[in-house]
């Protein structure tokens, strides 16, 4: 025990002779300790407004600069890949509605077409058109929310309300056609549950005008804002090659200059080969270009809906299928261009009423797997911009 009256920390060294030289050294060390600011570990989430749900980011900070970021996911993992093995095919569509809950209808389409491919049936043309319309409406609804939400994350409150307000028109359309605002569960293997209600096409046509107007508003209010540009240009740049190697898809990849859209380049599905649309890209790859690409894609989607409304044929919406659906044994990989990116199902059937194995490939999972790389060296406010710009849905990450 030391008797020099020093604090208890000195008790480890019983021999407490003071050497002036070492004291100088100690003082030096003390200065270094004081100047060297320690890192702070900040938990962003799982309850944080910028993480759209339950994403948790463990961020190591030096001042306000991020040294490293580690996304921790799984707070919402529902084990859909396991549950699908205990469900029949028609029951699975109810589940996969909940993967990307903002564009549920678009989730159903690839799974249903996977089953249709294995059964070698095809939905009637009218059903294909309605599926295309509703898929594009889901895309518009998702993107309108993004266009407002991004403004909110950058600090402007007003665009968020405009986004929600205008999305309501689209949700009303989806609701009147399918009966569900968020979880339509409208697809059946071999077609659709029902035809469109009376007057729906005219309603849809006028709603598209709302979408065009909303896009103009967002272009002026958010995209054209100097502060928004200052906050988003050059922030969170994903190089095209790296983005592709990480499996980033959809608008995020197109904003990096990769001209790849499954609606045009993939296996032809729905009626996209018959539609006339432009695939927008942007060379920069930053948050600003992601906003730009999504804004333009919203307009393209509205154009596509208008084209479908003009061209939709009459006829049945359901093909002949057996009452109890049994899918022949086989395997198939079906991928679609969903609002958030590439969504696909690898379905393995053993000839039963339910799938043997379904691998769900969701877009957000791969999109945010690039986060640890992307967040190095940015400031805390940029973390929020980058998260908002990547635009993920928690259900789409955790499945």
Per the listing, tokens 């939400």 go with 149
Cα separations in angstroms, 59 against 278, 376, 394: 39, 10, 19
> Considering the complex, what minimum distance in angstroms separates the CB of residue 31 from other proteins?
22
**What would the x/- binding string for other proteins be over residues 128 to 147, using CB under 8 A?**
--------------------
Instruction: Give the single-character DSSP code of 378.
Output: -
By CB under 8 A, the residues from 267 to 326 that bind other proteins are 267-268, 272-273, 275-279, 299-300, 303, 309, 312-318, 320-324
Name the token pair of 384: 């929020």
> Considering the complex, what minimum distance in angstroms separates the CB of residue 202 from other proteins?
7
Rounded Cα distance between 56 and 70, Å, is 8
Q: Which of 81, 224, 376, 377 binds other proteins (CB under 8 A)?
A: 81
- Residue 29: other Cβ atoms inside 10 A: 10
Cα separations in angstroms, 158 against 150, 163, 182, 291, 313: 11, 9, 24, 16, 40
The one segment of 17-25, 94-102, 237-245, 287-295 that binds other proteins by CB under 8 A: 237-245
> Considering the complex, what minimum distance in angstroms separates the CB of residue 83 from other proteins?
7
Per rule CB under 8 A, is residue 25 in the interface with other proteins?
Answer: no
Per rule CB under 8 A, is residue 202 in the interface with other proteins?
Answer: yes
- Residue 252: other Cβ atoms inside 10 A: 30
Rounded Cα distance between 146 and 160, Å, is 8
Q: Which of 151, 184, 236, 389 binds other proteins (CB under 8 A)?
A: 151
> Considering the complex, what minimum distance in angstroms separates the CB of residue 331 from other proteins?
4
Q: C-alpha 397: how far from its chain's center?
A: 8
Per rule CB under 8 A, is residue 21 in the interface with other proteins?
Answer: no
Per rule CB under 8 A, is residue 392 in the interface with other proteins?
Answer: no
By CB under 8 A, the residues from 155 to 194 that bind other proteins are 155-158, 161-162, 165
Q: Which is nearer to other proteins, 2 or 225 (CB)?
A: 225
Beta carbons of 47 and 76 less than 8 angstroms apart = no
Size of the site for other proteins (CB under 8 A): 121
Rounded Cα distance between 187 and 318, Å, is 10
């Amino acid at each position: 025990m030391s008797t020099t009256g020093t604090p208890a920390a000195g008790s480890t060294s019983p021999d407490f002779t003071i050497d002036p030289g070492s004291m100088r050294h100690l003082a030096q060390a003390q200065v270094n300790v004081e100047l060297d600011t320690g890192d702070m570990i900040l938990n962003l989430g799982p309850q944080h407004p910028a993480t759209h749900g339950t994403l948790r980011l463990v961020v190591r900070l030096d001042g306000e600069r991020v040294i490293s970021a580690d996304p921790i996911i799984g707070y919402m993992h529902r084990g859909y890949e396991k549950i699908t093995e205990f469900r029949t095919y028609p029951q699975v569509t109810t589940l996969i509605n909940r993967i990307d809950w903002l564009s549920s209808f678009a989730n159903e389409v690839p799974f249903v077409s996977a089953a249709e491919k294995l059964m070698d049936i095809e939905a009637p043309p009218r059903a294909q058109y309605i599926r295309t319309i509703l898929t594009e409406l889901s895309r518009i609804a998702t993107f309108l929310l993004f266009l407002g939400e991004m403004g909110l994350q950058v600090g402007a409150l007003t665009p968020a309300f405009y986004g929600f307000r205008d999305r309501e028109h689209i949700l009303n359309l989806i609701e009147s056609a399918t009966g569900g605002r968020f979880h339509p569960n409208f697809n059946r293997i071999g077609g659709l549950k029902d035809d469109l209600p009376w007057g729906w096409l005219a309603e849809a046509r006028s709603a598209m005008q709302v979408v065009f107007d909303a896009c103009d508003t967002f272009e002026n209010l958010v995209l054209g804002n100097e502060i928004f540009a200052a906050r988003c240009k050059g922030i969170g740049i994903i190089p095209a090659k790296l983005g592709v190697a990480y499996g980033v898809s959809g608008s995020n990849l197109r904003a990096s200059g990769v001209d790849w859209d499954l609606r045009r380049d993939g296996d032809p599905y729905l009626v996209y080969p018959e539609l006339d649309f432009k695939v927008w890209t942007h060379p920069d790859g930053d948050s600003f270009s992601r906003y730009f690409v999504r804004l333009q894609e919203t307009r393209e989607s509205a154009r596509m809906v208008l084209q479908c409304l003009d061209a939709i044929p009459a006829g049945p919406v359901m093909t002949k299928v057996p009452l109890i659906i049994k899918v022949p044994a086989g395997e198939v990989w079906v991928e679609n261009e969903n609002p958030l990116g590439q969504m696909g199902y690898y379905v393995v059937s053993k000839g039963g009423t339910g799938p043997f194995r379904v691998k769900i490939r969701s877009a957000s999972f791969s999109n945010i797997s690039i986060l640890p790389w992307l967040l190095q060296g940015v400031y805390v406010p940029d973390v929020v911009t980058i998260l908002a710009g990547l635009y993920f849905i928690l259900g789409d990450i955790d499945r």
